[in-house]
Amino acid sequence: MNIKQLEVLRTLLATGSTVASAKAMGLSQSGVSRMLQQLESDLSITLFVRDKGRLIPTPEATVLGRDAQNVLLAIERMSGHAEDLRNGAAGPEIVRIGLPSSMWENFAPAMLIDYVRDFPGVRIETFFETTTAITKLVEERVIDLGFLRIEGETGPSIAIDTVASGESVCVVPENHPLAELPEINITHLRNVPLILIGRQRPNRMALDQAFKRAGVKQMVKIETHTNSSACSYVAHGLGVTIISSFYANLYRHLPVVHRPFVPRATQEFGLVRAAGVPLSIAAQALSGALKKQIQLSQREQ
């Protein structure tokens, strides 16, 4: 496997033909054809079906095309850094932090208000991403810090500092009949429209299994991938959702209430950074600001 093969894969997925790819890359069509073959051989995977003189990407090609793009982006970043080093450029210190999408509205600004005043020379870059993306961004050193829900094992390249916890709760509209209950269990949710997140992730699968064991069929109306959108759908009467109280506490301004969900489950949340990499003073301070804001957000209950 070599870099040009990956570029060929990327370009083929974009253009759909070896002729167009060859033109775009300044190569011959036969070169492109060969490199595709070599890559398929190197990976022992068919990336394109040859159908009537056409190349049809396989599902594998789309998956690995994304990976190839990541490799090429990393190479571009390296080339960019080399360019910067050759040009001797340097700017203000930038501290980069990744947060769950659900935290942009009030949490992130509240966290940054004092910080920006205390560190006037520091530029902050915020990313609102999924747990998976945040983990990757930390691993790749794209960001200095991340806050995420701790799920299963992380590799040795990540250092985690547990800073918060929550329990599973059911979020319902405040005028919903289920809002009168002190706690909500699965049988309460029979025939209730559900808004669920984290499809195919371990915690979600555990929830699916619990429904199955209780003999209750889930009436899922909406799948989504952020706690924020799930709560908003609930607030608009589209159904009820099951999330961590940590996030539910961020949405107190919505006309919803949350009740402990049975079977009980707890979650842990942590601060992540690349293992073995010391944080700058500014990044440490941002870490501190984050921890402080977390305490505030969870304490006001």
Partner DNA sequence: AGAGCTATGACGAATATGCATAATATTGCG
Partner DNA sequence: CGCAATATTATGCATATTCGTCATAGCTCT
Q: Which two tokens stand for residue 11?
A: 């370009």
Residue 206 interface partner, choices its own copies, DNA, none, CB cut-off 5-8 Å depending on type? none
Q: Contacts with its own copies in 241-300 (CB under 8 A)? A: none
Q: Please report whether residue 157 would count as binding DNA according to CB under 7 A.
A: no
Residue 211 interface partner, choices its own copies, DNA, none, CB cut-off 5-8 Å depending on type? none
Residue from the set 236, 266, 280, 295 that interacts with its own copies by CB under 8 A = 236
Q: Please report whether residue 4 would count as binding DNA according to CB under 7 A.
A: yes
Name the minimum Å distance from CB 13 to DNA. Answer: 12
Q: Residue ranges of the alpha helices (H) in 91-201? A: 107-118, 131-139
Residue span 15-54 as binding mask against DNA, x where in contact by CB under 7 A, dash where not? -xxxxx-x---xxxxxx-xxxxxx---------x-x-xxx
Residue from the set 6, 13, 39, 55 that interacts with DNA by CB under 7 A = 55
Q: Contacts with its own copies in 114-133 (CB under 8 A)? A: 116, 123-128
CB 161 within 8 A of CB 136: no
Name the minimum Å distance from CB 118 to DNA. Answer: 37
Residue 222 interface partner, choices its own copies, DNA, none, CB cut-off 5-8 Å depending on type? its own copies
Query: Is residue 207 packed enough to be buried (19+ CB in 10 Å), middle (13-18) or exposed (0-12)?
Result: buried
Name the minimum Å distance from CB 22 to its own copies. Answer: 16
Residue 109 interface partner, choices its own copies, DNA, none, CB cut-off 5-8 Å depending on type? its own copies
Contact region for DNA (CB under 7 A) — 14-22, 114-122, 172-180, 259-267? 14-22
**Neighbour count for residue 192 (Cβ, 10 Å):** 18
Of the pair 34, 292, the CB lying nearest DNA is at 34
Handedness of CA 142, 148, 151, 153 (dihedral sign): positive
Q: Residue ranges of the alpha helices (H) in 58-118? A: 59-87, 107-118
SS3 (DSSP) at 130:
coil
Return d(Cα 244, Cα 165) in angstroms, integer: 9
Q: Which residue has the tokens 């609102």?
A: 128
Q: Please report whether residue 57 would count as binding DNA according to CB under 7 A.
A: no
**Neighbour count for residue 297 (Cβ, 10 Å):** 20
Q: Which two tokens stand for residue 98?
A: 């990744």
Residue from the set 110, 150, 210, 279 that interacts with its own copies by CB under 8 A = 110
Q: Which two tokens stand for residue 198?
A: 């984290």
* Residue 53, CB-side half-sphere exposure with 13 Å CA sphere: 1
Of the pair 38, 224, the CB lying nearest DNA is at 38
Residue from the set 38, 203, 232, 284 that interacts with its own copies by CB under 8 A = 232
Q: Which two tokens stand for residue 28?
A: 């011959």
Residue from the set 23, 38, 108, 204 that interacts with its own copies by CB under 8 A = 108
Q: What is the helix (H) or strand (E) element at residue 267, kind and residue range?
A: strand 266-274
